[in-house]
């Protein structure tokens, strides 16, 4: 099997439109009917709702959990209502890779940092699919496309088989649709005298 993967040279919110276009192509080719989408402020969710409106796909939008870095959640409640009224889902679940304080171990951070070796968006795709499955919005083994990004917008999309956090070893990435190159920029060290 051959499949195209796109690698973005830069991180930019402008990658969102290209990412959505690539996802739409893969949706049609694979017959997948659910997209799991990270959206902090609702901007990306609103764009996705418009972009995919006639595709027959269900969006499962995963914003930040409540009380994460801010007193007020930045995802607008009006958009939650609009999405749900349009047949989509919004899930404010526990962000699994931010639970070190809850469990008293660094395992979640280690997992998150290992996934960031691929890109921030890859880490978020893993997290939101686990969260959506834990919330009963996906079935274990279900094929979905997860979309996330680095900073603003979307630049990462993966075809995945869903799993819950209780069975995370069953979570699979079947295809990479796109991601940033994520090159590490290491400054040369100066010789010590």
**Does some domain include residue 190?**
no
**Does some domain include residue 42?**
yes
Question: With 60 as the cut, is the pLDDT of residue 102 above it?
Answer: no
**Does some domain include residue 191?**
no
Question: With 90 as the cut, is the pLDDT of residue 154 above it?
Answer: yes
110 CA to centre of own chain = 18
- Section 139-146 average pLDDT: 97
**Does some domain include residue 170?**
yes
User: For the domain that residue 83 is a member of, what is the CATH number?
Assistant: 3.40.1380.20
- Section 11-32 average pLDDT: 94
Q: Is the dihedral of CA 54, 121, 173, 94 positive or negative?
A: negative
pTM of the model: 0.85
Question: What total of structural domains would you count in the chain?
Answer: 1
Are 93 and 64 in contact by the 8 Å Cβ rule? The answer is: no
Question: With 90 as the cut, is the pLDDT of residue 155 above it?
Answer: yes
| Residue 193 pLDDT class (50, 70, 90 cuts) | very low
**Does some domain include residue 192?**
no
Determine what percent of the chain is predicted with pLDDT higher than 90.
Answer: 52
- Section 128-135 average pLDDT: 93
**Does some domain include residue 174?**
yes
Q: What torsion, rounded to 10 degrees, do the Cα atoms 185, 180, 12, 90 define?
A: -130
Question: With 50 as the cut, is the pLDDT of residue 101 above it?
Answer: yes
**Does some domain include residue 186?**
no
- Section 30-55 average pLDDT: 92
Quote the domain boundaries for residue 138: 6-180
Question: With 90 as the cut, is the pLDDT of residue 58 above it?
Answer: yes
**Does some domain include residue 85?**
yes
């Amino acid at each position: 099997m051959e499949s195209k993967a796109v690698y973005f040279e830069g991180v930019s919110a402008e990658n969102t439109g290209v990412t959505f276009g690539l996802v739409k192509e893969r949706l049609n080719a694979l017959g997948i009917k659910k997209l799991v989408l990270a959206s902090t402020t609702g901007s990306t969710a609103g764009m996705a709702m418009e972009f995919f409106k006639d595709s027959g796909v269900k969006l499962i939008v995963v914003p930040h959990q409540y009380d994460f870095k801010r007193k007020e959640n930045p995802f607008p409640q009006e958009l939650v209502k609009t999405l749900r009224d349009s047949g989509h889902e919004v899930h404010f679940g526990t962000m699994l890779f931010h639970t070190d304080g809850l469990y008293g171990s660094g395992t979640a951070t280690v997992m998150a940092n290992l996934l960031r070796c691929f890109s921030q968006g890859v880490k978020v795709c893993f997290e939101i699919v686990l969260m959506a499955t834990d919330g009963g919005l996906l079935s274990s083994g279900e094929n979905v496309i997860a979309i996330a990004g680095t900073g603003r917008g979307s630049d990462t999309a993966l075809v995945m088989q869903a799993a819950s956090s209780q069975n995370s070893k069953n979570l699979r990435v079947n295809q990479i649709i796109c991601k940033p190159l994520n090159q590490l920029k290491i400054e040369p060290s100066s010789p010590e005298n």
